[in-house]
Amino acid sequence: MILSYGAKNFFCFREWVEISFELAPGVPDEYSKGKPASLAICFMGGNGSGKTNGLKILSFLSYFCTNSFSLLKPESSIPLDTFFNKEPDAEFFVRFSENGVEYRYELILNRERVVSEKIYQKKKRHTLVFERKNDEIIKNTLYSFSYPLKLRKNASFISIAKQSEIKEVFPIYEFFEKITTNVTYYGLSKWIIETSEKELSEFYSNNSEYLDFTIEYLRKFDTGIKNIDIQSYEKDMKKEFYPVFKHDVDSEELSLSYTGQSNGTKALFSLLRLYKYTLDIGGILVLDEFDINLHPDILPYLVELFENQDTNPKNGQIVFTTHITDIIDKMGKYRTYLFNKEENESYCYRLDELPGNLIRNDRLITPLYKSGKIGGVPKI
């Protein structure tokens, strides 16, 4: 479970930006669900305010901590942009719990090399158990290893240690590996929506529990679909898969192809598998524009998947951006971050950080947001 994360000198964030999932003991159960940290967080703000870059922090950390050793060649540059490239070093941190242990990971790096990595474990307090400076390990009580571990300037210690089968690092690696996102270095990636009909059909053919889950929610969302059959045919000695969507029409079951479905149905046909995957593993789903092609009334039900203990027994989490303003009343002041930009520098705040009693639990937030009184709207 992620508790908080942040970055400094990263894309549009010149100073530290911090996103906290943690909740105070007095937060109503409607929002906390009895947990110490939120299971869902929403980012809102005008175009260019920094919402997507707020998600990029997690997507970058996930990539760098799991794949930098395997995907970057030894002399490759690290895919990293700092604030208008004025200063070279970006800084990151993330706090999380995995298998009952709380960790804090800190990283300083630039395009050319890792400057510093630190790992803390918390028992009674946070204790530094690993520290790296450049390519030298200067502190290690995290693991015992009979052979010296050779670091690489453009790869994280975590990704190197995983390749070297250092088991003490596995829980940390698994946390970053369980982050699923549609955000890359270049911004929103439409790979989720644009996954081909054949790929999706083959996946659902091999994973019937995912197909059942998708059918269940397509029915709930009034798409007119009664059932989905995954069928196949042989082509060039290879099996090709395709879906057949069953509809009730005048008390008769009739079929439509994938191309006959709406963009919203196609989006859900692709997206719902990622929701189930995240819920099944207790991961983190990081979605930019999670409302794309979807009706606003559907969005609260997607959030509810994470709020409901029956559908989310492993405490999976979702953090997302949206321009659908009504969702702010569903998320409330404890789970909504507003992003703003001044002089091309972005910053954000959680709504419960605002002073005074302008935002109260017994009042709708949407009218205040639309009026511009609490920020997070474009100055047109």
pLDDT band of residue 89 (cuts 50, 70, 90) is very high
d(CA 46, CA 339): 7
378 versus 107: which is more confidently predicted?
107
145 versus 181: which is more confidently predicted?
181
State yes or no: pLDDT of 26 exceeds 90: no
| Residue at 357: amino acid letter | N
Domain 2-178+282-371 annotated CATH 3.40.190? no
In which order are the strands placed within the sheet that holds 284-287? 179-181, 284-287, 317-321, 40-45, 336-342, 345-350
d(CA 57, CA 93): 9
Six token digits for residue 355: 């002073």
Output the furthest CA–CA distance in the chain (Å, rounded): 73
User: Average pLDDT of 178-205?
Assistant: 87
- Residue ranges per structural domain of the chain: 2-178+282-371, 192-269
Residue 95 has a pLDDT of 98
Residue 191 has a pLDDT of 67
Per-residue pLDDT tens digits for 255-295? 999 999 999 999 999 999 999 999 999 999 999 999 988 99
- In this predicted structure, which of 19-23, 55-59, 104-108, 293-297 has the lowest mean pLDDT? 293-297
Supply the pTM of this predicted model.
0.94
Nearest CA to 302 out of 211, 178, 378, 217 is that of: 217
Q: Is 359 helix (H, G, I), strand (E, B) or coil?
A: coil
